Chains A and B, each alone.
Chain A
Amino acid sequence: MQMEAFVQHTGKVAPVDRVNVDTDAIIPKQFLKRIERTGFGQFLFYEWRFSQNGDVNPNFSLNQERYQGSSVLISRANFGCGSSREHAPWAILDYGFKVVIAPSFADIFYNNCFKNGILPIKLSEEQVEELFQRTEKHEGYELSVDLEAKKLTDAHGLDISFDLDEHRRQFLLQGLDDIGLTLKLGDQITAYEQQHQARLAHQA
């Protein structure tokens, strides 16, 4: 799929202050039944946002007035653990988040973000803690992400460099279609298949 390129982004920050935020929490399974990629945002963190009878839970951060319209999500270690469901990044994106910041991410989730034009940023525990404090302190707190310079800044003097695999960075910057890239290797794939024909042949 061709993606929108990601170069820079400035947006309001919302906190989800938990470790091990799992994909069942990000999007509960009863909402995995759609056969489209869109429309999942309404179900993001559903069981935290809404009570059993559908009432809005006023204690959950995303329901608070000050975090409405956020596009940068900050959370704690091992974010996105659990299942491989790409519905999780689809829900995050569809809700309006473009950037997720945490000390660490689960592998498959991290990978899935890039496929959907979401930038996951890994920072140290201390840096993330600093962002939590700033978000708490300044109503309407915003972060600016510059993917070209690999920098995070705010209006209060914050200036953090972050690290990102170069290939992944280019992938986002250019909004590449990675299936298209692999398809260009068609001859190599065919040669491999011929060489391994016996092994790949299935019985029955």
Chain B
Amino acid sequence: MASKKTLYEKIWEQHAIHEESGKPSVIYIDLQLVHEVTSPQAFEGLRLAGRKVRRPDLTFATMDHNVPTQDRFNITDPISKQQIETLEQNCRDFGVKCFDLNSADQGVVHVMGPELGLTHPGKTIVCGDSHTSTHGAFGALAFGIGTSEVEHVLATQCLQQGKSKTMEVRINGKLKPGLTAKDIILGVIAQYGTDFATGYVIEYTGEAIRNLSMEERMTVCNMSIEAGARAGLIAPDETTFSYLKGREYCPQGEAWDKAVARWKELRTDEGAEYDTVVEFDADSLVPQVTWGTSPGMGTDITAVVPTPSEFPTENQRKAAEKALEYMDLKPGTKMSDIKIDRVFIGSCTNGRIEDLRAAAAVAKGYKVAEGVQAMVVPGSGRVKIQAEKEGLDQIFVEAGFEWRDAGCSMCLAMNPDFLLPGERCASTSNRNFEGRQGRDGRTHLVSPAMAAAAAVRGKFTDVRDWEFKQDAVTV
């Protein structure tokens, strides 16, 4: 039967408003999120062309990339300051709601949107930011766009898009204690590479995915872009609905029931075919640590730094050599012998409350190793408030972590938080590119629990062997 469809195809069909053969489709965009770095030129473009924002009510802004995480109103870099002020001005001029630095809801745009309940199953969501894929965890078709397209959506609430191919990434089995959503996605990318999903929209399925909380699903979808995918999706279920229920921008009462009924249809039909299927085994997963300068250069905490000559292709060998040189690592070194200088816990990948709880559970009763500087940056104002309510900030501070204000911070180091040349960092963020966290800084991607353990030991440590002190923090 031709009517069997994947989740992606269903959302696509509900939003394609104009299709012509040989041309990209025009699809309607239900929600655009805007931040300060990729929007100024878009608003300027509107001004120059005398155009308005078509649906300011479907457009929401915040500033996150540039904001300092200490003394946040004192932005010393004049260009950062100008960028933030430009966003405020643009939002005023075009009637767009902005969760600015005075708002308790301000935060990393992909933490904030779901928290406010702006992200719904079945929506099309764009933002001038590649990690927009995060919102796919709710079964929304969400992807990053460039600034020209930001302008396009502001002006028309539509986007010209070619249809992507579909890929099922099926995560079989169950996660063992100490393993997290971050290990799943790092493991998938280490196994299949950083461009295996280029041209595809991924749908994550399988037992391990179903068992994840909403926040964990966001961690998985967040890094879809690191696999090259246009977007990552997870079909909505009760976990999704109970997360959303009662949030500000969610429908209420009868409208809620109707919405849930509609959302329940958003699943891939039995027997529908994906263009490609790949599988991954969660049962045998071991905590992951990256060793190189691309998110795919990762391995098990129990493994050693690989030997470049053992890679199958010439390009891979060259890339691994360059990476190890940059990372100052020797082949054969045990991952658990690599010493670190800095720890960053935060970002739209792992800056949510459950991430902070997991890190705090490890840190509780311990001290950050001598010579290590560790910081915790909540993903949003709300995460910060919640963490303080639960006393997580106290646990971190007592252990010697710095407790900061919300923002992107050292995920990309555009604000005053960055690595010094040669410093090595255990980071819960999503990219370990050269210079990502500061020029000549060395980034190793890990889960929040692994980052906290590394902070305490001063080197990477298998969190499965961790001796938790006192009761782990309870929810």
A interface vs B, CB < 8 Å? 1, 18-20, 22, 24-25, 28-30, 32-37, 47, 52, 76-78, 81-86, 89, 104, 106-108, 111-112, 115-116, 165-167, 178-179, 181-183, 185, 188-189, 192-193, 196, 198-200, 202-204
Contact = CB atoms under 8 A, between A and B. Distances in A.
Given A111-B146, A178-B160, A189-B156, 12 more contacts: A19-B318, A35-B44, A83-B144, A107-B198, A179-B155, A179-B156, A182-B152, A188-B18, A189-B17, A189-B54, A192-B17, A202-B57
A36 B228 CA distance: 28
Interface in B26-48: 26, 28, 30, 37-38, 40-41, 44-45
B255 A78 contact: no
Contact of A33 (B22, B79, B230, B421): B79
A166 B83 contact: no
B369 interface: no
Given A81-B194, A185-B158, A20 B319 contact: yes
B144 A108 contact: yes
B250 interface: yes
B30 A200 contact: yes
B198 A78 contact: yes
Contacts of A19: 315-316, 318-319
Nearest to B77: A33
Given A78-B195, A115-B146, A179-B51, A84 B38 contact: yes
Contact of B158 (A78, A167, A182): A182
A71 B45 CA distance: 26
A24 B431 contact: yes
B228 A106 contact: yes
Contacts of A188: 17-18, 26
A185 B26 contact: yes
Interface size class of B (residues with CB under 8 A): 35 or more
A85 B431 CA distance: 15
Contacts of A28: 435, 439
Nearest to A185: B18
Given A35-B40, A77-B195, A78-B195, A25 B26 contact: no
Contacts of B222: none
A84 B130 contact: yes
Interface string B283-321: 000000000001000000000000000000001101100
5 contacts: A25-B434, A166-B22, A189-B28, A193-B55, A202-B249
A85 to B, nearest CB: 6
B336 interface: no
A22 B148 CA distance: 20
B144 A84 contact: yes
A182 B157 CA distance: 10
Which 3 residue pairs of A and B lie closest in terms of their CB atoms, listed nearest first? Answer: A115-B148, A35-B40, A84-B144
Given A115-B146, A192-B17, A20 B294 contact: yes
Contacts of B250: 203
Contact of B434 (A47, A83, A181): A47
B162 interface: yes
Contacts of A34: 79
Contact of A83 (B45, B129, B160, B319): B129
Interface in B403-428: 412-414, 421
B230 A107 contact: yes
Nearest to A89: B146
